[in-house]
Amino acid sequence: MMNSTVLPARGLALQTAVPDAGPTPSVVAEGLTLAYAGRPVLQDLSCTLLPGQVVGLLGRNGAGKTTLLEALLGLRELQAGEVRLFDQPATRLDDAARARVGYVPQQASLFEELRAQELLDYFRSFYPRWNTARVAGLLSRWDIPRDIPIGRMSGGQQQRLSIVRALAHEPDLLVLDEPVASLDPLARRDFLRELVGEVMDRGTTVVFSTHILSDLERVAFNVAFLQAGRIAVQGPLDELLEETLEASGPEDLLVGLPAGSVLARQDGRRLLRGLRESQLPEGLVARRATLEDLFEALT
Ligand code: ADP
């Protein structure tokens, strides 16, 4: 139905002092393959995340987002493939590398009888680094009550507390599985924007999953579309939108288009990449693709 294309990730935030070496990737995944009861979820999936990249992982429900995020963290047994975090095997990280990772699972189990501060004090004992001032600031700003047991907080408050817990040790890689699922639609994007602002200054690599398109707008500079067990397309969101046209018209007009320019086709419509409207043959009607077009075609 479509080409599997990985766009080069351009416009990255961090450079190293050595001009030609490039930064050590935070995550390198190669050939990840995993099936449940014969049903493939990850199929020879490869991806790389560089320091400072903020990536929104998009896919429909059941596409395998949680599976992929857990695989990246070395938490799922793979049938094939390997993940390296900070150049170490994800399943055998040493303590120093482990302390560089923050993870917010979809459903955090947060010791319901504890209060927020007690929970944070407990986790603090596991990490060599812990930013107390930042934690205090976030608890206030994100409206997390300190004086009631966690079990009596709302779902949204618990989710925010779980994120504070993951930010407190200032990770270099932050993995968030549907981090705003418990927030109402209006609050989702604002909160994500603030969260990403929090980590951007430090050059943290962030990957968060979502199936809600509005979460990405003005938040994820890079997007990755998970489809049929692979990353169908990955790249800076603004460039993807700029470079992609949605075209409709007779199929035979596509024949003369440059190889690789048809990114996806569905119901007589195609997504065309890297072409200007003036380059299209007469008879094809085109407009700039929207995020919805990309989501529909690529997930
Ligand atoms: P998403 O996060 O995109 O909604 P998931 O990664 O949770 O998707 O699930 C992807 C697919 O893998 C689903 O069909 C789900 O039922 C299946 N799956 C996930 N984990 C398991 C498991 N531990 N055992 C069996 N099937 C699983």
Domains of the chain in sequence order: 239-298 (3.30.70)
From atom 15 of ligand 1, which residue's Cα is the shortest distance away?
62
**Residue 20 has what pLDDT?**
56
Q: How far apart are CA 121 and CA 95, in angstroms?
A: 19
Numbers of helices and strands, H then E, in the chain: 8, 14
Q: Ligand 1 atom 5: the closest Cα is on which residue?
A: 64
The Cα–Cα gap between 210 and 195 comes to 15
Atom of ligand 1 at shortest range from CA of 211: 3
CA 232–ligand 1 middle distance (angstroms):
18
Which residues form ligand 1's pocket by a CB distance below 6 Å?
Answer: 36, 41, 59, 61-67
33 Cβ contact list (under 8 Å, min separation 6): 40, 42, 43, 44, 45, 78, 79, 80, 81
Whole-prediction pTM: 0.88
Question: 274, 49 in Cβ contact below 8 A?
Answer: no
Look up residue 250 and give its amino acid: P
Nearest CA to ligand 1 atom 25: 36
Q: How far apart are the CA of 267 and the centre of ligand 1, in A?
A: 28
- Which atom number of ligand 1 is nearest to the Cα of residue 226? 3
Element (DSSP H or E) covering residue 139: helix 132-141
Q: Which pLDDT value is given to residue 5?
A: 37
Ligand 1 pocket test, pick from 33, 34, 66 with the greatest ligand atom count within 8 Å of Cβ, gives 66
How many CB atoms are located within 10 Å of the residue 291 CB? 16
Name which residue sits closest to atom 14 of ligand 1, judged by CA.
Answer: 62
- Note the pLDDT tens digit of each residue in 189-231: 888 888 888 888 889 999 999 988 888 887 878 999 999 999 9
Task: Tell me the best of 34, 36, 211 to mutate to test the pocket of ligand 1, counting ligand atoms within 8 Å of each CB and taking the most.
Answer: 36
Contact 277, 245 (CB under 8 A): yes
The tens digit of pLDDT for each residue in 122-167 reads: 999 999 999 999 999 999 999 899 989 999 999 889 999 999 999 9
Instruction: List the structure tokens of 166.
Output: 């993951």
Segments of the chain scoring below 50 in pLDDT = 1-18
Q: Are 85 and 173 in contact (CB under 8 A)?
A: yes
**Which residues lie across from 58 on neighbouring strands?**
210, 225
Residue among 33, 39, 41 whose CB has most ligand 1 atoms within 8 A, to mutate: 41
121 CA from centroid of ligand 1 (Å) = 33
Q: How far is the CA of 35 from the centre of ligand 1 (A)?
A: 9
The shares of helix, strand and coil residues in the chain, as percent rounded to the nearest 5, are 30, 30, 40
DSSP result, 26-60: SEEEEEEEEEETTEEEEEEEEEEE-TT-EEEEE--
Cα(280)–Cα(282) distance, integer angstroms: 6
The rounded distance, in Å, linking the Cα atoms of 100 and 172 is 5
